[in-house]
Structure 1
Amino acid sequence: MHNRTFTPTRSRVWTAARFAAHSMPPRVLVVDDYIDSADALAAFLANSGFDTRVAYNGCDALKIANEWRPDSVVLDIAMPGLSGLAVARTLRALPEMASVPLLAYTACETGDDYAELRAGGFDGVCIKPVDPLTAVDILSTLLAMPALKRGYYHS
């Protein structure tokens, strides 16, 4: 299993008032089979104060999620083997992961794609290429809300 851990820096964007209740940085798992893309987003999130890990395929993502218990997951959809949609459905079926915010990280851009992602358990979508600040903003918003009050966000 290949994965990387990115340590949060001192900037801690997430420590705005909406995260006052958190004593530790939110854990975010970034999953993308394109290694450069995954590492770049994870490094940016870590620089923004998130505790970040990376997986490069769906099977590793499920293993890391089970062991590490992230507070949020950013998932590429089109991956060889286990797709991001399959990973999302599997995570949603686990009681301990059922309410964790899931953010699709994809090139899909049609209304049908959004409907399928929403039905698959995603709380939002970032269209590739994404401005990393947009990803930080969406993750911060999703993490600050109870699961039942989350809207559906896309960039």
Structure 2
Amino acid sequence: MSTILLVEDDPDIRHLVAGRLTDAGFDVVGAADGPAALNAARERPPDLVLLAVRMPALSGIDVCRELRAGPLAASVPIIMLTARLRQQDLDQGYAAGATGHIIKPFSPAELRERVEAALARVGS
């Protein structure tokens, strides 16, 4: 079973996404902010990270940089969850080490497909 670190400051979104991923057979570790995400990744390195871009205290971009500089192997997918569609925003995520983006709002089916595809690429 793959472990997913879900970093989302909105508790409703975090709960909904965690429930959908758990129902799909994933082990989900939730974090409400950047510092908690970094701690969780150090304690139990995930197989994939879903990371909100806009969060208080430490942005998702900053967390992504920290994860890439420290506890996560380069092969671990980091998918940014964002409502921003501008190319420069997406480029900023890639420059920080993200491997993909999912644009909010997204469907549960899209979320599952993107997560499974990212994990399959790493597994092959």
Shorter-chain TM-score bucket reads over 0.9
Name the counterpart of 2:18.
Answer: 42
Name the counterpart of 1:84.
Answer: 60
Name the counterpart of 1:6.
Answer: none
Which residues of structure 2 form unaligned runs of 5+? none
How big is each residue's C-alpha offset from its partner over 1:104-146, in whole Å with a ceiling of 9 and x where there is no partner? 0111111111111111111111111111211111111111114
RMSD over aligned CA atoms reads: 1.6
Structure 1 residues 1-155: aligned runs within 5 Å: 25-94=1-70, 96-146=72-122
CA distance in 1, matches of 2:27, 2:53: 22
Q: In the alignment, residue 121 of structure 1 is paired with which amino acid?
A: G
More helix by share: 2
Identity %: 37
Which residues of structure 1 form unaligned runs of 5+? 1-24, 150-155
State the aligned residue count. Answer: 124
TM-score (norm 1): 0.76
CA distance in 2, matches of 1:107, 1:60: 22
Go from structure 1 to structure 2 and tell me whether the alpha carbon gap of 1:36 and 1:93 turns closer, same or farther (over 3 Å shift).
same
How big is each residue's C-alpha offset from its partner over 1:19-60, in whole Å with a ceiling of 9 and x where there is no partner? xxxxxx110011111011011101100000101111000000
CA distance in 1, matches of 2:15, 2:44: 18
CA distance in 2, matches of 1:32, 1:146: 23
Give 3-state SS (helix, strand or coil) of 2:6's partner: strand
CA distance in 2, matches of 1:96, 1:57: 17
Q: Is the radius of gyration larger for structure 1 or structure 2?
A: 1
